[in-house]
Amino acid sequence: MTNRPKSRHSDRSWRKSDLRSGYTTSACAAACAAAGLKTLISGQAVSWIRIDLPGESQALFDMVRCEIGVHGVLCGTIKDAGDDPDITHGAEIQAFVSWKDFPGIYIRGGEGVGIVTRPGLPVRVGEAAINPGAQRLIRNAVLAAGGDFLEAKGVNIEVRVPRGAELAQQTLNPRLGIVGGISILGTTGVLKPFSNDAYRAAISTELKVAKANRVGKVVLSTGSRSEQYAMRVHPELPELAFIQVGDHMDHALRQCCRLGLKSVVITGMIGKISKLAQGRMQTHVSQGGVDFQFLGSVASELGADRTLIDKIVESNTAHYVQVILKKNGILGLEKKLACLAAQECFKYGRELAQLEVLLFDRDGELTAQNLVRRVQ
């Protein structure tokens, strides 16, 4: 589950170190639950609360509402995601807290919290999309706030997210089979901006859902455009099969092998595909840009002369290399790169049965396609 926007393609800003951290939906829900319980106990509305999180002690949350009603208390706080592009930044996260006659902490989802409808997620089908880690955070905050009062009484916690259903349409939740709202996520409670770990976790989750729903072939794309182009090439595949992996092809291929997924399609444009053709499975610019010496050597194999190779080596973009080769009548660059990329990725994903590479140009034209299969 993830509340990241649909397009999660990474860029160089993921490497900035001066970005501000924020809090997860789970931390916000835990703070509201603790504030609601304190209000139930004291009868006095709470305007702010501090809770201990695995990622930060005594984290401070302001309550934008603390409404005492006949049946319980409704508390709400505004989620601050820091500098992370989480779609729920600025959303109000709420908890409605009420007593039960018997001990225990009972957590459920309310308005704006999604319901899981497909297997493969860490929450069972039919339950609210509140991850186990999020549930632990909420329980711990409630236990700390309730103290001895919870020895004889129990408490209901209903997590709500006004506009959650609307926000969820901008996330991957509908594709994952989470309907009616967002997910309540976060094990540490602290949201690190542009986290590679979070990105990779999202990739793993999507692959697990695809596997659990018996998707026979998955499409790993380097970005949203190449994903859309690949959907036109493989219209027979369900939306679940298409997964944006950004620069993390290494992680995605490892996960495919670990999960026993046997058929993989890789789709991208010339810059990223050229890196894969060299066996560079982590394609972020921080790991090195496009290797124009390598493109020059490929062009040489295709018949380019020394003058043309020198122009290639001095190029600024892989797209420009395509342009100058085409102008000089040198064809086959895309096919050669797709072939090399398929071979290298197939070697990396040693347990795959087959792997296909699709190389598109900027306008979505399929310029090269290469399929490799394991010999039985």
For 199-223, what is each residue's pLDDT tens digit?
888 899 999 999 999 999 999 998 8
Average model confidence (pLDDT) across the chain: 90
Phi-psi region of 148 (alpha: psi -120 to 50; beta: other; left: phi over 0): alpha
The residue-averaged pLDDT of 191-195 equals: 75
Q: How many CB atoms lie within 10 A of CB 276?
A: 26
Q: How many CB atoms lie within 10 A of CB 69?
A: 9
Where in the chain do CATH 3.30.2110.10 domains reside?
12-191
- The phi and psi torsions of 198 (rounded to 5 degrees) equal -65, -40
pLDDT in tens, 103-158: 999 999 999 999 999 998 889 999 999 999 999 999 999 999 998 889 888 999 99
The residue-averaged pLDDT of 170-194 equals: 89
pLDDT score at 335: 96
2 vs 165, higher pLDDT = 165
Instruction: Report the SS3 class of residue 104.
Output: strand
Structure letter (DSSP) for residue 189: S
pLDDT surpassing 90 at residue 35: yes
Position 7 confidence tier, pLDDT thresholds 50, 70, 90: very low
Nearest Cα residue to 220 out of 336, 123, 339, 341: 341
pLDDT score at 285: 64
Q: How many CB atoms lie within 10 A of CB 62?
A: 12
Which overall architecture, per CATH, does domain 12-191 show?
Answer: 2-Layer Sandwich (3.30)
Q: Is the dihedral angle over the CA atoms 126, 136, 201, 172 positive or is it negative?
A: positive
What is the biggest distance separating any 2 CA atoms in the chain, rounded to whole angstroms? Answer: 85
Q: Are strands 178-179 and 115-116 parallel, antiparallel or unpaired?
A: antiparallel
* Secondary structure element (H or E) that encloses residue 367, with its range: strand 366-373
Find tokens 């085409």 and name the residue: 326
* Secondary structure element (H or E) that encloses residue 293, with its range: helix 292-301
Contact 81/133 with Cβ under 8 angstroms?
Answer: no
d(CA 106, CA 37): 13
Q: Looking at this protein, which amino acid is placed at residue 38?
A: K
Where in the chain do CATH 3.40.50.10720 domains reside?
196-373
On whether the pTM is more than 0.85, the answer is no
Residues contacting 42, CB < 8 A, separation 6+: none
Crossing angle of helices 333-348 and 270-277, in 10° steps, is 50
d(CA 36, CA 238): 43
The CATH number fitting domain 196-373, selected from 3.40.50.300, 1.10.10.10, 3.40.50.10720, 2.60.120.560: 3.40.50.10720
The residue-averaged pLDDT of 281-297 equals: 83
Contact 368/335 with Cβ under 8 angstroms?
Answer: yes
pLDDT in tens, 226-260: 999 999 999 999 999 999 998 899 999 999 999 99
d(CA 117, CA 314): 53
